[in-house]
Chain A
Amino acid sequence: MIKTLKKYFLLYLAMFKASFIADLEYRANFFSRILTDVFWYIAQIITFEVLYQHTEKIGDWNVKEMRVFLGLLFVIDAFYMIIIHENLENITEKVRKGDLDLLLAKPVNSQFMLTLQKANTAIFGNLLLGSSWLIYSLMGLEGFNYARLLWLIILFPCSLIVIYSMRFMFSASAVIFTRSENLQFLWWQVYRLGMRPDSMYTPYVKYVLLTLIPVGVIVSIPARALLNPPNLTYLLWPLILVPLLLYGTHRFWNFALKFYSSASS
């Protein structure tokens, strides 16, 4: 078991290094990727800063608390973009061009390869910016208990796995349908639901977003862990959800592969 884990860890390190070298090759693209996310951050920040000029609270939170929510969103999104995004974004292309055959033929788990083959190292700049915004927003909270940050050790990986699992299901559907661009677009719309605090939604919608389509878990639960008094039922829910989702992706991938007919053969 440990030997296998070590093998996969070393493999990931090698792929990460190769990705970094490849990213540096296209320097203009490297820097414009950072610029892209800076605009996205600005858009999110300006939206809420302007709205809070006209209201005291949105959902349960005031402007200072919303800044923390946005900080967490930026950091979680940056990790997702670095580690996973590009791989899952390209599944449709891999299926169509027959590149998936190459991955399936390798002596490693195909889901692992498909998920982690390429790291997007250009996003490290964004991670730095997002983290800076999070620190700035936390410093703006009066009497914030910094010990609450320890929750993030558990909740950050949970958030990443939730995004991964959901995105993976959308992307892997490309194996079944071959062309699934519209489903990928739908994913972005679903993900956007999680980019807003759960308290903004009606109780029924909120329930759905925390359970059936759990995008509400991604940022709202870590934000609540930092901002509100601890509610263990709420905070431990991701720990139950994550193994279920991971198992679900594994089963779904095996199911999807039954439909794969190899484009290159």
Chain B
Amino acid sequence: MLTTGIEILLWVAVFKGAKSATIAGFSEANYLSYALWSAFFARIATSWMYEFKMVEEVSSGSINSIIVRPMSFYEYYLSQLMGYKVVTTFISLIIPIAAVFIFDLPTDLSRLPLATLLCFYYLFLVHTISFIISTMAFHFTKISSLTVAKNLFMWILMGELFPLDLLPEPYKTWVISLPFASGTFTPVAYITGRIGLQTVIEGFMSVTIGLVVLNLIGAYLWRRGLNTYVGTGA
């Protein structure tokens, strides 16, 4: 809530300085709604805890107990991540929905299911990246800051900081075409009326391409890592 509050104060200050009723065609209320929902979606679309756990499992050697299970390391943590995100999303959804009604913020709630679905689809990509990062732990002893660096990189490209359509061309087109926009910008812009269904469909396609490419890389790195791995934690 504090994070959202800070962002809202920033947008209020921006509009005061702009001395204009709209920025890039959208009102102050629209930006406040964006700030509210982007904080919510960005929390869903980020995986800190499970990535740290995955890295820890590999580097500490406790991965041995997972390798022997009838479920892959990837699937084991994917099920945990998704379970956690589904529960927390439905509980925390109450806050932005209540804020929308209390402050009368422009939001098309009928678009919320599709926006949430895209964000959850994007989570598969997030998990695949976490999987790739965890394979690095086969080769390096301490890589926790790689997780932080990666999450910051994705944070910039997701659109939590500001609506990505405020970027000048051609950066705007490039960044929105990347799958990372599907984590925050595309779902939030869709429910706040900045974009239409076409961009959401493009988001699904972009994430699908990202999933195929990154899963291939992940599978290769996993096999390579396992070949060099010795079960130190056994």
Q: Report B's interface with A, CB cutoff 8 A.
A: 2-3, 6, 9-10, 13-15, 17-19, 23-24, 136, 140-146, 148-149, 152-153, 155-156, 161-162, 166-168
**A189 with B143: in contact, given A43-B152, A46-B156, A55-B18 (CB under 8 Å)?**
no
Given contact pairs A40-B152, A43-B156, A190-B2, A29 touches B144 in the complex (Cβ within 8 A): yes
B144 close to A39 (CB less than 8 A)? no
A261 vs B103: C-alpha distance when bound (angstroms): 47
Given A28-B143, A59-B13: A50 and B149 within 8 A (CB)? no
Using CB atoms, name the residue of chain B closest to A43: B156
Segment 170-200 of A: residues with Cβ below 8 Å from B: 186, 189-190, 192-193, 196, 199-200
Please, could you name 17 A-B residue pairs with CB atoms under 8 Å apart, sorted by A? A28-B146, A29-B142, A32-B143, A36-B145, A36-B148, A36-B149, A39-B149, A39-B152, A39-B153, A46-B161, A54-B166, A57-B17, A58-B14, A186-B2, A196-B6, A201-B9, A202-B9
A54 touches B149 (CB 8 A): no
Interface majority SS (helix, strand, loop, mixed), chain A: helix
Please determine whether A36 and B152 come into contact, CB atoms closer than 8 angstroms: yes
Q: For the complex, is A64 an interface residue (Cβ under 8 Å from B)?
A: no
- 18 more contacts with CB within 8 A, not counting A43-B152, A199-B13, are A26-B140, A28-B146, A29-B143, A32-B146, A36-B145, A40-B152, A43-B156, A46-B156, A46-B161, A47-B161, A47-B162, A51-B14, A58-B10, A58-B13, A59-B17, A192-B3, A196-B6, A202-B9
Indicate if A240 sits at the interface (CB-CB under 8 A): no
A26 pairs with B9, CB closer than 8 A: no
Q: Could you tell me the distance in whole angstroms from the C-beta of B68 to the nearest C-beta in chain A? A: 29
Residue of B nearest to A40 (CB): B152
Q: Which of B9, B141, B153, B167 contacts A50 (CB 8 A)?
A: B167
- Known contacts A54-B23, A55-B23, A200-B10; A29 and B152 CB within 8 A of each other: no
Residues in chain A near residue B168, CB distance under 8 A: 53
Which residues of chain A have C-beta atoms less than 8 A from B23's C-beta? 54-55
List the interface of chain A (C-beta within 8 A of B). 26, 28-29, 32-33, 35-36, 39-40, 42-43, 46-47, 50-51, 53-59, 186, 189-190, 192-193, 196, 199-202, 205
Question: In the bound complex, what is the Cα–Cα distance between A199 and B16 (angstroms)?
Answer: 12
Q: How far is the CB of B213 from chain A (nearest CB, A)?
A: 22
A39 to B145, CA, bound (A): 12
Closest to A35 in B: B149
CA distance A200 to B16 in the complex (A): 10
Q: In the assembly, what is the distance between CA of A32 and CA of B146, in Å?
A: 6
Query: What B residues does A39 contact at CB under 8 A?
Result: 149, 152-153, 155-156
Min Cβ gap A151→B in Å is 25
Nearest chain A CB to B9 CB, angstrom units: 6
Q: Which residues of A contact B19 (CB under 8 A)?
A: 56
Instruction: For B10, give its contact among A26, A29, A40, A196 (CB under 8 Å).
Output: A196
Cα–Cα, bound, A51→B142 (Å):
37
Q: How far is the CA of A51 from the CA of B168 in the complex (A)?
A: 11
Contact between chains at A28 and B10 (CB < 8 Å): no
